[in-house]
Amino acid sequence: MLHVVTPENRHLYSSEIKDQHKIRHDVYVEERRWVGLQSRDGLEFDQFDTDDTVYFLAIEHGRVVGGSRMNPTLKPHLLATICPELAEIKGIPRSPDIYEWTRMYAVKDRRDGGRFGSGVIGEIFSGCLEYAYDEAISALSLQFEAWWLPRLQQHGWEIKPLGLPSLINGEWWLGALIPITAEMVRSTRAFYRISDPVLVRNGITKPLIRAAA
């Protein structure tokens, strides 16, 4: 299951949050060799790990095996601060109902073959979109390597590029906006053969925006 970690319930996940920073170090610093990342004591984090960040943690038998995060676009975020060139044509999306989606990862032993890691990664994709739809988030902005584009289109997503591809650390990257709809949640679940909701909301008492409306 994919656990939603917000400022409201973060105290329940202190050890798991530390684990995800360790996994991110393993993935982005050690394995992918991304430059310019902050690392202390084997933990990777950046200036966008803030009190406003919503984390998504895939937890199996008490072990964090993958995750991702979202940040509000009205606050400083990665696209606007680090790589605005990815949105040179359409501009940086900023709205209370648009969030930025970054840092998707899975531990090595849970990256099963076929469908580019259909197990944990499929759960993260489905759960993050489930959260966005439930919270009445209208769209997500994201940056990804260009080779992901045809793969993401297989999910049934409407992908709106924000600019031309840009070369970053030797890889071509794209910035895009994806509108959130019930159909894209359904099609993503179908792609990964997921039949039920996957989110866990321990200790979260605030009503969902959509449910409240």
The pLDDT of residue 115 is 45
Mean pLDDT, 10 residues at a time, over the chain (213 residues)?
Answer: 94 96 89 71 89 96 95 96 96 97 88 61 94 96 92 92 91 95 95 92 75 49
Question: What local confidence, expressed as pLDDT, does residue 110 receive?
Answer: 73
Question: pTM of this prediction?
Answer: 0.91
User: Minimal CA–CA distance to 135: which of 40, 20, 56?
Assistant: 56
Q: How many domains does the chain have?
A: 1
Q: Which domain holds residue 170?
A: 2-212
Closest CA to 121 of 178, 195, 191: 191
Looking up residue 58, the CATH number of its domain turns out to be 3.40.630.30
CA 31 to CA 111: how far, in whole Å? 14
Is the separation of the CB atoms in 71 and 48 below 8 Å? Answer: yes
pLDDT at 208: 64
Alpha-carbon distance of 57 to 63, in angstroms, equals: 10
Are the beta carbons of 69 and 102 closer than 8 angstroms? yes
